[in-house]
Amino acid sequence: MDPSDAAYAGQEVYSRAFLRMYDPVILGFYGNVVWRCPTSRLVQQYRQHVGHRHLDVGPGTGYFLEHGRLPNDARITLLDPKPDVLAHAARRLSDRHPSAIQADVLKPLPLTAGDRFDSAAMNYVLHCLPGPPVRKAAAAQNVAAVLKPGGVLFGATVLGATGPHTWLSQAVLWFVNSRRIFDNLSDTEDGLRDVLEASFATVEIDVIGSVAVFTART
């Protein structure tokens, strides 16, 4: 991704070194303790929604795909602008032979007309995308465009400054925004609903700790 792109900062941090410590630090400590949304709850969401043809936007280390009890015949496509992420997740899931696409979810996805998915995940990705929330609507729109009718998008995103934060999560929120790792200070549950409802027929959001956990269907 071009460093001048507004979305560059949100994916830059996912280097090979960072990905090696991601699961215990980010999913173990930050997810469970700082944001107070049990990682096990998000694994459950994968188990509930992953379909036969699944698109994973921003797969990170591939943790959720490994633990999500995917159908044996599931066909997985990984999509991320960062080559290190695609290599790490593809290696972890090598027994499932995933396809990997280097792309930015904010731009129309480089998929052929026949590529249609039963499910897509966008887990802990929206808070990395450039704000305000209305700018993130392109991500929902681009994913909706590659889902089959009745297909499901699910995921989670950390809420912004007016969200249900503790002093600890508020401090971390401001720090990660100052480093541009997150760009979500103005993200709200209502803003997320608007973003999803612009492209999906039904939207459900549960707020758990400082995190909005969402499901949307075409």
Interacting residues toward ligand SAM by CB under 6 A: 7, 10-11, 14, 27, 57-60, 63-64, 80-82, 85, 104-106, 123-125, 128-129
Strands (E), 58-144: 75-80, 99-102, 117-123
| Whole-number Å distance between alpha carbons of 203 and 218 | 9
Within a 10 A sphere around the Cβ of 103, how many other Cβ atoms? Answer: 18
Nearer to ligand SAM (CB atom), residue 165 or residue 184: 184
Q: In the complex, what is the shortest distance from the CB of residue 125 to ligand SAM, in angstroms, rounded to a whole number?
A: 4
Region of residue 73 (phi > 0: left; psi between -120 and 50: alpha; otherwise: beta): alpha
134-166 residues labelled b (16+ CB within 10 A) or e (exposed): eebbbbbbbbbebbeeebbbbbbbbbbeebebe
Q: Which amino acid is at 110?
A: P
Q: Identify which of residues 150 and 210 has a Cβ nearer to ligand SAM in the complex.
A: 210
Q: Identify which of residues 27 and 172 has a Cβ nearer to ligand SAM in the complex.
A: 27
Q: Which is nearer to ligand SAM, 124 or 154 (CB)?
A: 124
* Residue 213 in tokens: 């956990």
Q: What is the nearest approach in angstroms of ligand SAM to the Cβ of residue 89?
A: 8
Question: Angle 133-144/189-197 helices, nearest 10 degrees?
Answer: 40
Residue 5 or 194: the one with the smaller Cβ distance to ligand SAM is 5
Write down the least CB distance from residue 191 to ligand SAM, Å: 18
Q: Could you tell me the smallest distance in angstroms from the CB atom of residue 81 to ligand SAM? A: 5
Q: Tell me how far, at minimum, the Cβ of 11 lies from ligand SAM, in Å.
A: 4
* 29, amino acid identity: F
